Chains A and B, each alone.
Chain A
């Protein structure tokens, strides 16, 4: 069981690096979506016996992160007619190096953290921290609104993974509420991205600098 969980987290960590390295937005969205689905399936593996509420939340997570949110983002991308994030503030190779170095660092750091014996051998904590880090690099280092949203979602995936440490004690309706907030959030982001595109005729957030002292 544990090795299956670690395999999925390993996949998620690999997808972090793909997200950091790709300049094409569809690839970035796909990496984010696959990661969301991999992590969405984890509650099913962690729960030892079948529980229909857990399954329901897992199915909703997979549907939300794997299909609904990517669909909204792809639609925004087509509307804005952009395929690539051409001029990142942190280049693709530096971001990849940052991501790889950061991943190694968090794996090393997780050994130093005080963990419960059942979590000591698992990749959950380093995986979560690596995704949070990747999310931050994308948020800071990309200039297109859609890539920044993907960064935000990868950050959120990391937090979701960390939250799975508490899966046996957190009531499910809290998980469901968090998922609902996230979906509504992305929906709202989609609307705002659309309006920015219409108002500024670009999704380059570097152009959003009319407000300053």
Chain B
């Protein structure tokens, strides 16, 4: 019952939002529904409900290991959404609020889906729900970004459907009944037809990899994150990408049991390191601080893929990194949104001296920058350390070396942009717009809370999370 409630609650909230009469009070639905969802999610994290193995939707160990992070991120973004939408009174927010809640419902469905078809429907639904959110600002640039997101994301997601069908055919050809639930596919294991499993793996990796934003399928990401409001960017980078990542983890488990685990691991390592490399190179060149966040997200998706390709210890580290990255990236997106509004521009050439105009948001942005570039004692440092440890244990020394090299370049790239916009004397134009869009307690607290959770994750990772990740790993790597 409870797994369905996690989906139904936000969707019901979306319906209420669609019919809510007042633009002024409607945004409050976001934190209310977000708080209920987060409370339910954390309750289920601490006391997991019994698992029905043949259920199509269930709060299984993998969902338990990831979904609470998304729910927390949503709650904080929702709290930021209220003051954000107050600065945008000239635009009706009916569609915006309703679709944000729809997105939460569909993300919950995607995380809990144990059937490939259902997983696809949820992921495609999230993709579509995000579209009106991306062009909320209504500028020509926003429409251009939306078009690219739609076309690249749509093609990618179509390929993952083809991959899902191939996996079904692998089961059929191997003598199974073609059932697309993960439980049945994993039970059939070595009985699946190998050539079709490999075809399915490639298509699923490309398809859901596009949704995650792994290079070279990441091209929609800088445009979309650059143009979207900060709160949408945070949810795309920390929520939607994790749906795609868990999809890849679930299919990877099937492929490994079918006997092609080594090939799957190698492709994940290669695509992960390539993403990190591409992100590092573009970070050294970009001058726009919102596009910088997108490339940083490509880098972190690369880290997740590398982790997923390193066996059980690596997957554990990747699940840790999902939490660390989602929450830290959320803090960066939200503070960047505040800075962007106050400055009225987004590039190093037009923005300067924001530490004088938005001192708190700038401080959070700088602290978040250190967190996301894996400086101790924040969460990402420890999760990335676990990935490196897993790489050494698996004797992938070259991969670990390349991983560290990319992190170094990423650090150079990000600090270059961040300090350029925070330091110095502000331009006259920045001062003028910052008077209109001053930072308030409502826009300072949410990113601060996220940064606090990231710090907490790093200093003392709660044991309930450690057990949740260990159990998720046990689900993905069942011992015969």
A residues neighboring B (CB under 8 Å): 113-116, 132, 139, 145, 148, 152, 155-156, 158-159, 162-163, 165-166, 168-171, 174, 177-178, 181, 184-185, 188-189, 192, 195-196, 199-200, 205, 208, 210-211, 213
Q: How far is the CB of A76 from chain B (nearest CB, A)?
A: 13
Q: Whose C-beta in chain A lies nearest to the C-beta of B176? A: A169
Partner of A208, one of B144, B155, B169, B193: B144
Binds A, one of B121-129, B453-461, B468-476: B121-129
Contact B121 A165 (CB under 8 A): no
- Whole-angstrom CA separation of A200 from B143 in the bound complex: 9
For chains A and B in complex, what number of residue pairs have CB atoms within 8 angstroms? 115
B223 CB within 8 Å of chain A: yes
Which residues of A lie under 8 Å from residue B180 when comparing CB positions? 166, 169-170, 174
Q: A169-B172, A210-B141, A210-B144 are in contact. Are A185 and B178 (CB under 8 A)?
A: no
Partner of A199, one of B121, B143, B151, B285: B143
Which residues of A lie under 8 Å from residue B131 when comparing CB positions? 188, 192
Q: A178-B117, A195-B143 are in contact. Are A114 and B195 (CB under 8 A)?
A: yes
Q: How far is the CB of A203 from chain B (nearest CB, A)?
A: 10
Contact A114 B179 (CB under 8 A): no
B135 CB within 8 Å of chain A: yes
Which residues of A lie under 8 Å from residue B179 when comparing CB positions? 169
Partner of A211, one of B117, B124, B178, B223: B223
Q: How far is the CB of A41 from chain B (nearest CB, A)?
A: 20
Q: How far is the CB of B280 from chain A (nearest CB, A)?
A: 14
Which residues of A lie under 8 Å from residue B162 when comparing CB positions? 132, 158-159, 162
The 8 closest A-B pairs by CB, nearest first: A169-B178, A174-B117, A199-B140, A177-B121, A181-B124, A208-B144, A211-B223, A166-B168
- Whole-angstrom CA separation of A46 from B177 in the bound complex: 17
Contact B161 A159 (CB under 8 A): yes
Contact A155 B155 (CB under 8 A): yes
Partner of B282, one of A148, A188, A213: A213
Q: How far is the CB of B416 from chain A (nearest CB, A)?
A: 14
Q: Whose C-beta in chain B lies nearest to the C-beta of A185? A: B128
Which residues of A lie under 8 Å from residue B286 when comparing CB positions? 213
Which residues of B lie under 8 Å from residue A116 when comparing CB positions? 172-173
- Name B140-157 residues within 8 Å CB distance of A: 140-141, 143-148, 150-151, 154-155
Contact A163 B195 (CB under 8 A): no
Find the residue from B124, B169, B195 having the highest chain A CB count within 10 A.
B169
B380 CB within 8 Å of chain A: no
B120 CB within 8 Å of chain A: yes
Interface size on B (CB < 8 Å)? 48
- Whole-angstrom CA separation of A184 from B118 in the bound complex: 16
Q: A156-B158, A166-B178, A188-B150 are in contact. Are A210 and B140 (CB under 8 A)?
A: yes
Can you list 8 contacts pairing A with B, beta carbon distance less than 8 Å? Answer: A113-B195, A168-B178, A169-B168, A169-B177, A177-B118, A178-B124, A208-B148, A211-B148
Given A174-B118, A192-B143: 7 more A-B contacts, CB < 8 Å:
A139-B151, A152-B155, A166-B172, A189-B150, A211-B148, A211-B223, A213-B222
B196 CB within 8 Å of chain A: yes
B392 CB within 8 Å of chain A: no
Q: How far is the CB of B320 from chain A (nearest CB, A)?
A: 32
Q: How far is the CB of A169 from chain B (nearest CB, A)?
A: 4
Q: Whose C-beta in chain B lies nearest to the C-beta of A201? A: B140
Q: Whose C-beta in chain B lies nearest to the C-beta of A177? A: B121
Q: How far is the CB of B93 from chain A (nearest CB, A)?
A: 18
- Name B188-221 residues within 8 Å CB distance of A: 193, 195-196
- Whole-angstrom CA separation of A189 from B289 in the bound complex: 29
- Whole-angstrom CA separation of A166 from B180 in the bound complex: 10
B165 CB within 8 Å of chain A: yes
Which residues of B lie under 8 Å from residue A213 when comparing CB positions? 222, 282, 285-286, 291
Which residues of A lie under 8 Å from residue B128 when comparing CB positions? 181, 184-185, 188
Which residues of B lie under 8 Å from residue A139 when comparing CB positions? 151, 155
Q: Whose C-beta in chain B lies nearest to the C-beta of A208? A: B144
Find the residue from A132, A145, A188 having the highest chain B CB count within 10 A.
A188
Contact B151 A148 (CB under 8 A): yes
B227 CB within 8 Å of chain A: yes
Contact B147 A196 (CB under 8 A): yes
- Whole-angstrom CA separation of A199 from B168 in the bound complex: 43
Q: How far is the CB of A75 from chain B (nearest CB, A)?
A: 18
Which residues of A lie under 8 Å from residue B309 when comparing CB positions? none
- Whole-angstrom CA separation of A93 from B163 in the bound complex: 31
B226 CB within 8 Å of chain A: yes
Which residues of B lie under 8 Å from residue A113 when comparing CB positions? 195
- Whole-angstrom CA separation of A181 from B153 in the bound complex: 14
Partner of B165, one of A162, A185, A208: A162
Partner of A205, one of B147, B158, B223: B147
Q: Whose C-beta in chain B lies nearest to the C-beta of A176? A: B121
Which residues of B lie under 8 Å from residue A211 when comparing CB positions? 141, 144-145, 148, 222-223, 226-227
Find the residue from B120, B140, B148, B180 having the highest chain A CB count within 10 A.
B140
Contact A178 B121 (CB under 8 A): yes
Q: How far is the CB of B314 from chain A (nearest CB, A)?
A: 31
Q: How far is the CB of B227 from chain A (nearest CB, A)?
A: 7
